[in-house]
């Protein structure tokens, strides 16, 4: 096609989107993500906007009638935007809106009715959808952790993504491996004991307070809020293991 034909094709897609075509919106999202020869350069904000429109149209119908292939195409494109092109501080409105939409889709994906009538290929793509969405949630939690030094939520989500396992789709399987890597890197930054004093039940809410808890050197599975509580707990160890 020449440039004039490209322009006419885009006008048709835009018109179809105005009339409620989720597939046309998804196509425009893809075009703005990748660019189109010399006619269109990548425009990531516009790409995200069209992907969000596609999701809005998809969600307007009963979830039992969702087009799994189309939904997968949109979520895969959004995941690429989140990973490589979005800046959370600069694109906060886009970022947060997309995360809320993905959370709502994640809830639907858990419903057994959603996958009961799915073909084997659709089941693989549903699994891939879960991987993509949870990875984006984990990435968001990791960036929040960079701000407050609390990576507990990110570690939990990366681990959840990893536990889903591979599904045979390259785009998702790469994310599972990436989630495994991120989990191993962030996990040492997460306290390993419950943030509650085993003696007085003091609950540490702030991360600074959590890190200030004293972990028992004997059992290494509980923490205490002060030296006094720790000494009392250590005394229990001595009583339990007192020679007969």
pTM, to two decimals = 0.81
Q: Is 82 exposed, middle or buried (0-12, 13-18, 19+ CB in 10 A)?
A: buried
Instruction: Please determine, for residue 38, whether its predicted confidence score (pLDDT) is greater than 70.
Output: no
What number is the average pLDDT over the span 102-127? 90
Q: Where are the domains of the chain?
A: 3-189, 191-244
Map residue 66 onto helix, strand or coil: coil
Instruction: Please determine, for residue 244, whether its predicted confidence score (pLDDT) is greater than 60.
Output: no
| Residue 96, CA atoms < 13 Å, CB-side half-sphere | 6
Q: What is the mean pLDDT of the chain?
A: 90
Q: State pLDDT tens for residues 44-63.
A: 999 999 999 999 999 999 98
Report the C-alpha gap between 226 and 204 in whole angstroms.
12
Report the C-alpha gap between 15 and 18 in whole angstroms.
5
* pLDDT score, position 24: 97
* pLDDT score, position 243: 45
- What is the radius of gyration, based on Cα positions, of the chain? 24
Instruction: Please determine, for residue 241, whether its predicted confidence score (pLDDT) is greater than 50.
Output: no
């Amino acid at each position: 096609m020449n440039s004039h034909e490209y322009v006419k094709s885009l006008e048709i897609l835009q018109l179809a989107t105005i009339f409620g075509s989720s597939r046309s919106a998804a196509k425009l999202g893809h075009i703005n993500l990748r660019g189109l020869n010399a006619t269109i350069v990548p425009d990531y904000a516009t790409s995200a906007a069209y992907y969000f429109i596609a999701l809005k149209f998809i969600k307007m119908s009963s979830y039992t009638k969702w087009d799994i292939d189309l939904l997968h195409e949109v979520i895969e494109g959004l995941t690429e935007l989140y990973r490589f092109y979005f800046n959370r501080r600069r694109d906060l409105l886009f970022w947060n809106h997309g995360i809320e939409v993905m959370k709502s889709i994640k809830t639907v994906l858990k419903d057994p009715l959603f996958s009961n009538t799915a073909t084997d290929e659709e089941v693989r793509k549903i699994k891939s959808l879960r991987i993509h969405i949870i990875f984006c949630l984990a990435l968001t939690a990791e960036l929040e952790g960079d701000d407050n030094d609390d990576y507990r939520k990110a570690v939990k989500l990366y681990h959840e993504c990893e536990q889903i396992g591979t599904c045979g789709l390259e785009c998702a399987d790469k994310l599972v491996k990436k989630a495994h890597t991120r989990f191993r890197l962030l996990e040492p930054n997460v306290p390993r004991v419950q943030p509650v004093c085993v003696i007085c039940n003091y609950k540490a809410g702030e991360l600074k307070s959590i890190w200030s808890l004293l972990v028992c050197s004997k059992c290494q599975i509980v923490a205490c809020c002060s030296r006094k509580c720790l000494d009392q707990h250590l005394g229990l160890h001595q009583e339990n293991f007192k020679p007969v």
